[in-house]
Structure 1
Amino acid sequence: MTADAFSALLRQHRSIRCFQDRGIDPALVDRVLVQALQGSSSSGNLNLVSVIKTSDAARKQHLCTLHFDQPMVLQAPLVLTFCADSHRTRQWLAQRDARLGFADFISWHVAGYDAIILAQTTALALESHGLGICYMGTTLHAMQAIADFLDCPDHCLPVTSMVVGWPAESPPSRDRLPGAAWIHNERYQRPTPADIDAHFGEREERGRERYLALGPEMAARWAEHGIRSLAQFYTSKIKYDPDQFARDSAALEDLLRARGFGG
């Protein structure tokens, strides 16, 4: 792929939530996954990752429940769950009479970051074949239930998930922060109030319009919660509630320790 073709692929990215009633060749999925791992960086070349494919309708129905009843889980022919996995490596160490390791918080980060790197490479590879994907952040909030449902052993936990299928929609491109907001030279440049206004102003208005365009129910919820801006919406009870995040974060910390990543 040429640099221009790759740039075009990046520009074409969309989060797809509506899919055609059309299956995906399992051989294509496996080939993409193998190539994605080969094309992804891996700390120490340990490959501390696993990917669990779910295409069975009944199992997708249960995954849909665990992912907060997002309908795209049912509509997409495939769900990929990317796991941080040192279980397999620890078994290899044990069978070779090596010191056991990779059962600590740093190993969780290493495996988790490897899983995210693989997920993004996989996303690009799938999109290059014309498939559509959408990540599901709900994985972190239902990690234990998803891990149990997928029979993940100790030292193996889901990090992120994505639905995959042939797109049945072509949503507009989402705006991103301009480079001036997040690209730093030599050291971190703290934004001034004027910088925040300049960098967030236009996307705030676009985001507000996008959410309120979802229908009168959303507008009513904004009014109910006294939400006057996109920023207020993002940390409201109906979006990324800091109180709920605090509870889920505590549960996640307990789960990491219980599943062998606590040190």
Structure 2
Amino acid sequence: MESLKQRRTIRKYQQKDISSDLLNDLLETSFRASTVGNMQVYSVIVTRDADRKARLAPAHFNQPMVKTAPAVLTFCIDLRRFSKWCEQRKAEPGYNNFEWFVTGAVDALLVAQTFCVAAEEKGLGICYLGTTTYTPQMIIEALELPELVFPITTVTVGWPAETPAQVDRLPLEAIVHEETYHDYTPEDIDRLYAYKESLPENKQFIAENNKETLAQVFTDVRYTKKDSEAMSENLWKVMKQQGF
């Protein structure tokens, strides 16, 4: 519980390798995560090679930790392995559809988070890369992913070379709903986001981007509607190209 409460994202790593024994133990442990139907419709691509990491970097907007982390783990939806097993056992698979794409994403993300908790408990630091679904085709090409395999999230992992401050989180009442969903009043929104809006670093974001509110930094600068729609269109196209 204490490790979870004190966790923080690590983007700078010591130039110290992670032993194969430790990494494999963490991965094997993470595979005990819940999985739909005990089917394990996921795969993990472990990238240690410097040249291969360099090929991955542009897909992640060249964030430096892709090259500097001793290991980069790409967690993939994988309906290929299970479908091949079905076909070789005289069973007809029907898993090349959107339902199983979502199911595979759930499976893969459960494994990814279980891995991260286990890794942090061993003293390692991790960083999720949300860029994985921005340009999936680049990752598919770099990792040579076949049909029915799709990258859904990426984690860099290594021994921490920094101890950054924890970032803010919304209070419990903002997220937990008792029995049914309780919609938010304008007063609720003001109260629940007051702390986030009061932080000096967030006020600095507003000033640096010449905006009136923190929300405008998100909608107008960081995650625009135009970019989101373009990435959504590309995500759907690449999903189809991968056989879903």
Q: TM-score range by the shorter chain?
A: over 0.9
Counterpart position of 2:123: 130
Deviation at 1:80, TM superposition (A): 0.3
Q: After the TM superposition, which residues 42-53 of structure 1 pair with which residues of structure 2 at under 5 Å, given as runs? A: 42-53=35-46
Q: Distance in 1 between matches of 2:178 and 2:202?
A: 33
Aligned pairs, number: 244
Deviation at 1:152, TM superposition (A): 0.7
Q: Is the 8 A contact 1:205 1:230 kept in 2?
A: no
| Aligned-residue identity in percent | 39
Q: After the TM superposition, which residues 5-16 of structure 1 pair with which residues of structure 2 at under 5 Å, given as runs? A: 7-16=1-10
Deviation at 1:228, TM superposition (A): 2.0
Confirm or deny that 1:168 pairs with 2:161. Answer: yes
Q: After the TM superposition, which residues 116-155 of structure 1 pair with which residues of structure 2 at under 5 Å, given as runs? A: 116-155=109-148
Q: 1:244 aligns with which of 227, 236, 244?
A: 227
Moved over 4 A (4+): none
Deviation at 1:23, TM superposition (A): 0.8
Counterpart position of 1:177: 170
Structure 2 counterpart SS, 1:167: coil
Q: Distance in 1 between matches of 2:156 and 2:204?
A: 25
Q: Distance in 1 between matches of 2:41 and 2:133?
A: 18
Q: Is the 8 A contact 2:196 2:202 kept in 1?
A: no
Q: After the TM superposition, which residues 1-263 of structure 1 pair with which residues of structure 2 at under 5 Å, given as runs? A: 7-38=1-32, 40-206=33-199, 209-210=201-202, 212=204, 219-220=207-208, 222-223=209-210, 227-237=211-221, 239-261=222-244
What is the TM-score of this pair, normalised by structure 2? 0.96
Structure 2 counterpart SS, 1:236: helix
* Runs of 5+ unmatched residues, structure 2: none
Q: Is the 8 A contact 2:41 2:107 kept in 1?
A: yes
Aligned partner letter, 1:91: K
Q: Deviations over 1:209-249 (max 9, x none)?
A: 25738xxxx954x12xxx12211101123x11111110110
Structure 2 counterpart SS, 1:14: coil
Structure 1 counterpart SS, 2:94: coil
Q: Is the 8 A contact 1:131 1:165 kept in 2?
A: yes
Q: Deviations over 1:164-195 (max 9, x none)?
A: 01111111111211111110111100011010
Q: Is the 8 A contact 1:85 1:155 kept in 2?
A: yes
